[in-house]
Structure 1
Amino acid sequence: MGGGWVFQQDNDPKHRCYILFHDCAVVYGLRNQPYYKYVWNGKLLERVKDTVHPDWLMYIIHGFCGQSKLLIYGRPVHITLIARRSSRFAGTRFLKRGANCEGDVANEVETEQIVHDASVTSFTAGSYSSYVQVRGSVPLYWSQDISTMMPKPPIRLDQADPYAHVAGLHFDQMLQRFGSPIIILNLVKKREKRKHEKILSEDLYPAVVNLNQFLPPEHCIEYIAWDMARYTKSKLCNVLDRLNMIAENVVKRTGFFINRSDFYCHTLRPDDRWGDVGGYMTSSGRLQTGVLRTNCVDCLDRTNTAQFMVGKCALAYQLYALGMIDKPKLQFDTDCVRLFEELYEDHGDTLSLQYGGSQLVHRVKTYRKIAPWTQHSKDIMQTLSRYYSNAFSDADRQDAINLFLQVYQPSEGKAHLWELPTDFYLHQKSTLILPHDRRSYTMWWTQGILSYLPVPYDEAACEDTMKKVKVKRVNRFDESIDIYTEFYKPYELTLFDDTFSIIMSNAARELMPKYVGVDPSPFTVRKPEETGKSVLGSKSNKEEAVLQRKTAASAPPPPSEEAISTTSEDDSEEDRDDEGSVSQRSTPIKLLIEHLHATQQISVFSRLSLPVSQFPEDSIYGVCPPQVDRDSREVFESHVMTGRGHVRVLCREDMLMYREYVKNRYM
């Protein structure tokens, strides 16, 4: 090849492969095009994507992205939550309901939770786990009449669909993307004095039965109907316990993704539930097959709580698979679950604002029945805010969405967007076209899907996903993406306190109690009075936490002798404990301070401050410098002198090392 680079490009619209050759070595690379269902600027990029370099294209998703750090005895674990809203049949709450004629449903969101062992930052040697679930409107032709605005407009079925044609199109998409089993969790009401939500269940269940009679029994769609609102009012039923049973069954059926095979710790600490987890096993780990599809009427409040419980169950299995815990089970009132609950509440608030116009009305604490009385007034305000948005601002938001997604494209001689009486025909274009090849009512799935189930058809190695490539010579210094540089950005001058890894929510910093002697494990159940003050989502508290970190080394004002043995009056109620536990914790600390004072091992300033440990030399006030050898000291001093402008003469070993670096980096 003469030292040049050659790359091969795939012409498949779904995948683009780049295979690089340098001398005799072959380096394989893959550039994937995104799944356009969740790309919101896909239509805007269509005119330029074939003329500009792919690295210049920025694909935008609409939804939610949050990340938090879980410290397990100092071992960092990043928990990431990503929600992707569908760009098809997109809109606001009352204006987009049900499904369109192509099987796309309103408020369809794909939520993925990723667990990453951040102690190893390599993208190839690191350990990752992922779990995906979906929410979306009931896949039927239905809507609500908003001509006379009221809090709950009546639900009506717009079109009869006896052969479940639109539901078949929707579940065909899900089988193609997620594989089997497809599990439906329907949370709408069953018993009502006046039939309202029940209308949807009465039509959805026969549609699922009709579709299942043509599928193989092992790949049938599972239907779970549970009236969550009714059981919430009951004093005898625990809603979250019931959801936990459903979640356990779902996670075992679908499995989850992990890029590592079983660790040795699973043999040392076996668990009977681990052997029942499903999914598709590979030589390098396991894949999730199938997905849970949760819905209520709005797919907001009840759906978010149900998804949180399923995500909590999946998180336990993910942490167990990564060797973080000894059994796949997490309990409430632990730092880990509190951190995860805050993530899901932010996730639910964001999606609810985008679709309904307000934050969540009912949260996890509401269904646990531990919400404070002040929460009820907040719920009333959120309900009023949602009603105001639906009545006055949703129409303008819907027009903006239609224009941005290019569902409506302005042109001369065409009515303006605000002059249209309805946008029904913009989202239901195929209703105006007579289909030449009508889809079968019995073979309602895409050809070839069943032969690869339970593996998703999109990930199967077949002719549709593996296309031929052609060779093309490119410039030797063509742009490439260095993952290490993209992640760490070593060539940029940054402020350490402003980096995302520091600002990110941290379980040890924000949730763990601040007193001495507490179990630092994030899986320890803590009483409400023992837990630290939650600062997640509070801008002022986050700024205060950063300020406290910056001034951690400054000296506190010297308190009196009485202030050492008693609790300060300025302490918040959340940081206090009962009198017995306070005396038990303070007694050994007081004895230690008196002992150190008597032996004169610490200064007066240190004596008035609480040490972080009961060992005198293991604290921030008394640290012995590490002993290093002479060669290490010379290397360090050389770096310091170089920073001051005194550069030493390069020796032969330095030149050889630099040549090796240049050879590996640029040649």
Structure 2
Amino acid sequence: MPTAAAPIISSVQKLVLYETRARYFLVGSNNAETKYRVLKIDRTEPKDLVIIDDRHVYTQQEVRELLGRLDLGNRTKMGQKGSSGLFRAVSAFGVVGFVRFLEGYYIVLITKRRKMADIGGHAIYKVEDTNMIYIPNDSVRVTHPDEARYLRIFQNVDLSSNFYFSYSYDLSHSLQYNLTVLRMPLEMLKSEMTQNRQESFDIFEDEGLITQGGSGVFGICSEPYMKYVWNGELLDIIKSTVHRDWLLYIIHGFCGQSKLLIYGRPVYVTLIARRSSKFAGTRFLKRGANCEGDVANEVETEQILCDASVMSFTAGSYSSYVQVRGSVPLYWSQDISTMMPKPPITLDQADPFAHVAALHFDQMFQRFGSPIIILNLVKEREKRKHERILSEELVAAVTYLNQFLPPEHTIVYIPWDMAKYTKSKLCNVLDRLNVIAESVVKKTGFFVNRPDSYCSILRPDEKWNELGGCVIPTGRLQTGILRTNCVDCLDRTNTAQFMVGKCALAYQLYSLGLIDKPNLQFDTDAVRLFEELYEDHGDTLSLQYGGSQLVHRVKTYRKIAPWTQHSKDIMQTLSRYYSNAFSDADRQDSINLFLGVFHPTEGKPHLWELPTDFYLHHKNTMRLLPTRRSYTYWWTPEVIKHLPLPYDEVICAVNLKKLIVKKFHKYEEEIDIHNEFFRPYELSSFDDTFCLAMTSSARHTLGAVSLPEARSLIHQKSWNCCVFGIYCGIWSGFSSNGEVAFA
């Protein structure tokens, strides 16, 4: 009976699009180019998308023969006008999706990628460039005068700007979820004797899986969490007709990784931000929440620590902590018709029973468990009511919802006027945030896939015993979430999240046995690297949502920012104001079109003719009889039953149906992440093997040499010594400017 589990690696990682006059042939292969799949796309249909996937796995020889026959079959018609053979149109690394406006369909392909991070051998790539190809040929094309304008609007979403994907790691879920999913089939097998076989094992692709023995391994693939997938609508049309390996889901947000050397032991610190695709938009045009409980500017930020000396989910040590930012979950907006730096805040709809907040917090209970902790950073004391309108309404909503929840699972509300404390000369903002962070991390705990290390017994710490979360035989689980917000969820929110993340980082390092106390001081390599990651994270999200980088940074609140920073802050403020005034409307149209919120239809108003997109995002306004949930029992019963554990991670029939499980031999390419990463059976390029350039704590303390100098050093010395040096930690990796550091 197999006892191991591993993520399934997509067998479509390299693509070539071949073209004939009547067909496109999309040939996809795995990284080793040993297994191939072929899609046939019809080009004779002017408006419909006709795709045929034979679901056959070809060998390299079979694909060559197939392409040769196709080329020969088309070249026999050379006497006919306009005929041609088989041409290689473009090479790619994945399919973003298919989209149609008013003419035929386009295919969007990823043509350039860059490796940004590595988690347990699973590479995370950033989209660097894409190619958009029109499918119908010229002879059947029916032109429309507005097609070009829709195409420009769609391409205004820059896919080369902070879109990420992975062939084997589910980026839409947290590390805790991904590693919990790997345990689900194993737990299910343990209860084989007590459950009905048909009910228990209907998720397996192999019918004879249970009776087979040998050294098999479960290959597991889970359905992505569509809230954080940005090309779900583009792939929806082919989802039911092609093999799942063709479906490459991308997220939008931020991904960064740094290396921390602790006495020569490499530790990777990874920061991943997932921006929600629901109710997405620009700063002033998307505020509050929609009718389904999705809030504007909702971003899930996860920090992952892993011992880089062991590259395996089963044998390695991994830890993660997740927190969320998002707009205040109420019906509110700001009027930008007048040019003002701070437009007035208005509550659009009366919601006495906190209906929209109930939907939002029910989603959070399902994904994160309890407790849900709200850190509200908006102003509470103002001469003229502005931000305080939101505080008062949010307090009323949380108070109303809490009276129906079990006392142990009530929503924790922490109000703190950060702007007021910043102006005070007597108060230290970060000290106060540190106190809040300690209390939050103690309530939620964090995830670690290993039992507590022996050093916590040798060097006990009183804070460790007060830690919350859920302790299980295989480690710890984070239960609950911190939800931080100010008005924009940009500057104040980023600093608050950094302080909470810094506190969690100390616990994570302590849990892996790397430090003797769960405390980190500001002037340390770990915090410096972590602050750089959070600054990049905050700048990226601020550019996506507000049109400029952060105005107030961690150094601003520490009051150690140089004088030159003040002039930069003024420029960022002006840049943000200009973006909000002149370019946000076009960006909002692009996001609505890209995410499928608006579908162009012949005979109906065009996107640019709509006076507002309110009805696109609040779809219940178009229903005659909108469905209403209970005003008192506002949660989903199944979700509340399993608290404090998140319902999405509970082993139950509903969650098991979201899994695809297949049995492989332990050396199969689809699950062998070691061979996928190192490629020992072929000659590897130096640039490919060390393509990931990350910031390291050794950057300022060790001697640095440039990449050409490193190559010459390697040529001068024996290769064996070089390999020995790499594995012994003498090699310190690349610095951010492309240098190679040696001890």
Quote the residue 2:596 is aligned against: 406
Is 1:221 aligned to 2:411, yes or no?
Answer: yes
**CA distance in 2 between partners of 1:83 and 1:16 (Å):** 30
Quote the residue 2:423 is aligned against: 233
SS in 1 for 2:635: coil
- State the one-letter code of the partner of 1:31: C
Quote the residue 2:229 is aligned against: 39
SS in 2 for 1:385: helix
**CA distance in 1 between partners of 2:321 and 2:663 (Å):** 40
- State the one-letter code of the partner of 1:406: G
Is 1:390 aligned to 2:583, yes or no?
Answer: no
Quote the residue 2:559 is aligned against: 369
- State the one-letter code of the partner of 1:208: V
1:24 deviation in Å? 2.6
1:67 deviation in Å? 0.4
Cα separation, partners in 2 of 1:547 and 1:377, compared to 1, 3 Å? farther
SS in 2 for 1:206: helix
**CA distance in 1 between partners of 2:666 and 2:441 (Å):** 48
**Cα contact 1:184–1:223 (8 A) shared by 2:** yes
Aligned length: 521
**Cα contact 2:203–2:661 (8 A) shared by 1:** no
Match of 1:380 among 543, 563, 570: 570
Match of 2:605 among 401, 407, 415: 415
SS in 2 for 1:90: coil
1:120 deviation in Å? 1.1
Match of 1:456 among 630, 633, 646: 646
Match of 2:677 among 487, 495, 499: 487
Match of 2:693 among 503, 518, 521: 503
**CA distance in 2 between partners of 1:473 and 1:195 (Å):** 62
**CA distance in 2 between partners of 1:78 and 1:203 (Å):** 42
Quote the residue 2:244 is aligned against: 54
1:434 deviation in Å? 3.9
Cα separation, partners in 2 of 1:322 and 1:90, compared to 1, 3 Å? same
**CA distance in 2 between partners of 1:468 and 1:498 (Å):** 35
Is 1:24 aligned to 2:213, yes or no?
Answer: yes
Written as runs of structure 1 = structure 2, the 5 A alignment for 1:315-330 is: 315-330=505-520
**CA distance in 2 between partners of 1:148 and 1:419 (Å):** 21
Quote the residue 2:280 is aligned against: 90
Q: Which runs of 5+ in 2 are unaligned?
A: 1-184, 186-196, 725-743
**CA distance in 1 between partners of 2:661 and 2:380 (Å):** 60
CA displacement, residues 311-352 of structure 1 (integer Å, 9 cap, x when unaligned): 000000000000000010000011110000000000000000
SS in 2 for 1:112: strand
**Cα contact 2:204–2:662 (8 A) shared by 1:** no
* Larger Rg over CA atoms: 1
SS in 2 for 1:449: helix
1:48 deviation in Å? 1.1
Match of 2:550 among 360, 363, 379: 360
- State the one-letter code of the partner of 1:453: L
**CA distance in 1 between partners of 2:448 and 2:320 (Å):** 7
Cα separation, partners in 2 of 1:226 and 1:350, compared to 1, 3 Å? same
- State the one-letter code of the partner of 1:24: G
- State the one-letter code of the partner of 2:493: T
SS in 2 for 1:359: coil
- State the one-letter code of the partner of 2:431: D
**Cα contact 1:261–1:285 (8 A) shared by 2:** yes
- State the one-letter code of the partner of 1:311: G
Cα separation, partners in 2 of 1:324 and 1:435, compared to 1, 3 Å? farther
Is 1:443 aligned to 2:621, yes or no?
Answer: no
**CA distance in 2 between partners of 1:412 and 1:469 (Å):** 39
CA displacement, residues 91-125 of structure 1 (integer Å, 9 cap, x when unaligned): 00000000001100000000000000011112210
Match of 1:74 among 249, 252, 264: 264
Q: Which runs of 5+ in 1 are unaligned?
A: 1-7, 515-541, 556-619, 629-667
Is 1:309 aligned to 2:499, yes or no?
Answer: yes
Quote the residue 1:196 is aligned against: 386
SS in 2 for 1:464: helix
Cα separation, partners in 2 of 1:335 and 1:410, compared to 1, 3 Å? same
Written as runs of structure 1 = structure 2, the 5 A alignment for 1:90-129 is: 90-129=280-319
Moved more, 303-312 or 18-27: 18-27
**Cα contact 2:281–2:296 (8 A) shared by 1:** yes
Quote the residue 1:433 is aligned against: 623
TM-score by length of 2: 0.66
Quote the residue 2:450 is aligned against: 260
1:144 deviation in Å? 0.4
- State the one-letter code of the partner of 2:597: V
Is 1:245 aligned to 2:462, yes or no?
Answer: no
Quote the residue 2:471 is aligned against: 281
TM-score by length of 1: 0.73
- State the one-letter code of the partner of 1:385: S
**CA distance in 2 between partners of 1:166 and 1:469 (Å):** 30
1:466 deviation in Å? 3.1
**CA distance in 2 between partners of 1:479 and 1:49 (Å):** 24
Cα separation, partners in 2 of 1:151 and 1:550, compared to 1, 3 Å? farther
Cα separation, partners in 2 of 1:369 and 1:491, compared to 1, 3 Å? farther
Match of 1:139 among 326, 329, 333: 329
Cα separation, partners in 2 of 1:192 and 1:326, compared to 1, 3 Å? same
**Cα contact 1:42–1:59 (8 A) shared by 2:** yes
**CA distance in 1 between partners of 2:323 and 2:597 (Å):** 27
Quote the residue 1:165 is aligned against: 355
SS in 1 for 2:517: coil
- State the one-letter code of the partner of 1:315: L
**CA distance in 2 between partners of 1:484 and 1:501 (Å):** 17
1:435 deviation in Å? 4.4
- State the one-letter code of the partner of 2:536: D
1:18 deviation in Å? 4.5
**Cα contact 1:93–1:356 (8 A) shared by 2:** yes
- State the one-letter code of the partner of 1:92: T
SS in 2 for 1:354: helix
1:53 deviation in Å? 1.7
**Cα contact 2:678–2:689 (8 A) shared by 1:** no
| Structure 1 or 2: more strand by fraction | 2
**CA distance in 2 between partners of 1:552 and 1:191 (Å):** 63
Cα separation, partners in 2 of 1:409 and 1:221, compared to 1, 3 Å? same
- State the one-letter code of the partner of 2:672: D
**Cα contact 2:306–2:317 (8 A) shared by 1:** yes
